[in-house]
Amino acid sequence: MQLIFFFFSGNDDFYPGGRIYPNPKEPCLFLSLGRSVDYFPLQKRSRVSVPFDINREWFDEPKQKTSIESLPDECLFEILRRLPVGQDRSVCASVSKRWLMLLSSICENEICSNGSTQDDNVVVDDAEGLSNEGYLSRSLEGKKATDVRLAAIAVGTASRGGLGKLTIRGSNSDRGVTNVGLKAIAHGCPSLKVFSVFDVATIDDEGLIEIASGCHKLEKLDLCKCPNISDKTLIAISKKCPNLAELSIESCPNIGNEGLQAIGKLCPNLRSVSIKGCSGVGDQGVCGLMSSASYVLSKVKLESLMVSDLSLATIGHYGFQVTDLVLSGLPNVSEKGFWVMGNGRGLQKLNSITIECCQGLTDTAIEAVGKGCPNVKNFQLRKCAYLSDKGLVSFTRAALSIESLKLQECHRITQIGLFGVFFHCAAKLKVLTLISCYGIKDLDLDLPAISPSESFWSLTIRDCPGFGDANLALLGKLCPRLKHVELSGLQRVTDVGFLPLLECSETGLTTVNLSGCLNVTDRVVLSVVNSYGWTLQVLCLDGCTRVTDASMMAIAGNCPMLSDLDVSKSAITDTGIAALARGNQISLEILSFSGCVSVSDKSIPAFKKLGQSLAGLNIKRCSAISNRGVSKLQEHLWTCDILY
């Protein structure tokens, strides 16, 4: 028996109170002579279709209504895969969850071209709307991360440039992301190049293997806190994704040595590897990876791993192309490991090195690293308890190319080590950052003559309680070309130390941050503004309680390029804000008065005037500003982000 299916397109007009056709007995309509039925407009488009027998003019009213939903999945799959790629597929995906999931399960090579019903091997090409370039980016977080949304992404992006980047963070507790959602992406998004999964415990190797099988263009893979992912995933990725260039795995306890070895051997384009907190990774995996990918790998990060000296020795021997190296939290690495790494002579191209929380980094070890990495320019040390002035000076003596040095929580470094850096690296040193180094104090020492650095432009000293005026004045003489100055939380710095630094500066300052310097007064601000107002772009006086309206008046008349001003928790009042509003602050974008208790509703008109160029205004904890005043500001400054 031959059947014909009729579908309502949604474009026909339905009229209430009457029948559809004036003559229900017209044979060409193929309608049943059943009871007279009145039709009214429907709230939703009907998906019901009724079969008709073309061999009979009339037929009895069916005992049971039939719809396309009664078709088994296999039949509906065959129908849906013949839909053209584009809007039709997206519309059909909106019919029901079942249709969406079926559409998302159709692989690219299973889509038939228009009119092709007999040849299953005919595939839609780019000319028919399928783009594999991967222009689109999608991100799902928390409750939005579900299989249904992934299926919708797989179907919806196929005809709109293709999905190139997908990030999944967390998962819905009730209907979280599972392997089903990953399979949908694998089938519908062959253009995927960047895939990141964070904190998703409901997926395992099965889903990631599907990604590897369907997304051969994958270039970057991030796996973080995925406890059910194992070496099987990395082995599949290594075999089917030859373009993989960046791999990052964190807190994946079931990933071990075998997976890393496969990545090293079978991924010829691998450039960057980051491994953190993976208890299954040991020397065998790191050594296998480094030795196999030695001629392409340029960035290596090992953090919180139970590797030993052997891994560092392998890096030092096979790191021919490594330019960036991060070693953090390696408790089993001793002084010998760093010494062998430096003497391996394989890190000749190393440009940046960061070493954190490694007890094996001693004075002897760091000297060997300096000799083995003669071209390193950026050097960062954090929580190196056994490093002293001797080791730091030895390193700078060997690594003469140092341009940026950052020391954080290295408490055995003193004033001698600090100025020893300038003695050996003054010619090329550009940036110096000291954070929470308690060993640096003002000492009355006879230091050797040091030539001023013509390249040094950025000085950051933060939360070093012993650093005071004497050290700051000495640094001022060595840094005549400063542009960026950040002195945060230095209660021992006063006008006496900062003014000589300003007097020695021969170029225009662009950034000055004195947050938390309680003893800095208007005198310093006036000197900065009067000398460098035409170049100053960022000025932070947060917590400078001795800065008053006099500074605001000077800023108003001398800083036309200022874009970011922070005077939080200072002694500024309504008078200072009024003066600022009268100035020519055409570039001011960020303004913060947080904690200025003397600023009241009287400043609302001034804020409105300043708001013409503002993108952000912070008036938190300004207790004298009422809720009504805030409402007025919000109404007037609707383009400005106001924090209150």
pLDDT tens digits, one per residue of 96-114: 777 777 766 776 666 665 5
Question: 326 phi and psi, to 5 degrees?
Answer: -125, 125
List pLDDT tens digits, range 217-263. Answer: 999 999 999 999 999 999 999 999 999 999 999 999 999 999 999 99
CA distances, 215 to each of 95, 100, 229, 375, 551 (Å): 27, 20, 18, 39, 59
Q: Label each residue of 515-569 as H, E or C.
A: CCCCCCCHHHHHHHHHHHCCCCCEEECCCCCCCCHHHHHHHHHHCCCCCEEECCC
Phi and psi dihedrals of 380, rounded to 5? -125, 130
Give the per-residue pLDDT at 14.
Answer: 37
pLDDT number for residue 524 = 95
> Which range, 189-193, 235-239, 422-426, 631-635, is most confident?
235-239
Q: Please give the residue range of the domain that contains residue 632.
A: 510-515+526-643
Of the three residues 80, 107, 134, the one that is the final residue of a domain is 107
Domain boundary among 107, 129, 155: 107
Q: Which tops the pLDDT comparison, 111 or 20?
A: 111
Nearest to 451 by CA among 485, 434, 467, 428: 428
567 occurs within a structural domain? yes
Asked if the model's pLDDT at residue 368 lies above 70, the reply is yes
Q: Residue 60 domain-assigned?
A: no
- Cβ neighbors of 385 (< 8 A, separation 6 or more) are 359, 411, 412
Q: Which residue has the higher pLDDT, 569 or 14?
A: 569
Which of the listed residues 85, 107, 129 is the one where a domain comes to its end?
A: 107
Query: Would you say residue 433 lies in a domain?
Result: no
pLDDT given for residue 27 in this prediction: 39
Read off the CATH number of the domain in which 576 is found.
Answer: 3.80.10.10
Q: Is residue 542 part of a domain?
A: yes
Give domain status of residue 139, yes or no: no
Task: Report which of residues 448 and 85 the model is more confident about.
Answer: 448
Name which of 147-156, 371-380, 465-474 the model is least confident about.
Answer: 147-156
Judge whether residue 458 has pLDDT over 90. Answer: yes
Q: Distances in Å between the alpha carbon of 452 and those of 269, 425, 434, 449, 505?
A: 44, 11, 19, 10, 11
Count of structural domains within the chain: 2
How would residue 65 be classed by pLDDT, with cut points 50, 70 and 90?
low
Closest CA to 585 of 565, 599, 567, 601: 565
Q: Residue type for 119, please?
A: D
Average pLDDT over residues 154-166: 82
Specify the pTM: 0.81
- Alpha-carbon distances of 315 from 116, 264, 286, 523, rounded to whole Å: 56, 14, 9, 53
Report the SS3 class of residue 497: helix
Please name the residue that has the structure tokens 């950034």: 511
Q: Is residue 119 pLDDT above 70, yes or no?
A: no
pLDDT in tens, 173-215: 778 899 999 998 998 889 999 999 999 999 999 999 999 999 9
pLDDT at 54 over 50: no
User: Which of 176, 174, 157 lies closest to 166 in space, CA to CA?
Assistant: 157
Please check whether residue 454 lies inside any domain of the structure.
Answer: no
- Reply yes or no on whether the pLDDT at 265 is more than 80: yes
**What mean pLDDT is predicted for residues 301-326?**
97
Kindly report which listed range (60-64, 269-273, 380-384, 569-573) carries the lowest average pLDDT score. Answer: 60-64
Share of the chain above pLDDT 90, in %: 62
Is pLDDT larger for residue 268 or for residue 119?
A: 268
Residue 418 within any structural domain of the chain: no
Q: What does the pLDDT read at residue 572?
A: 95
Domain assignment present for 61: no
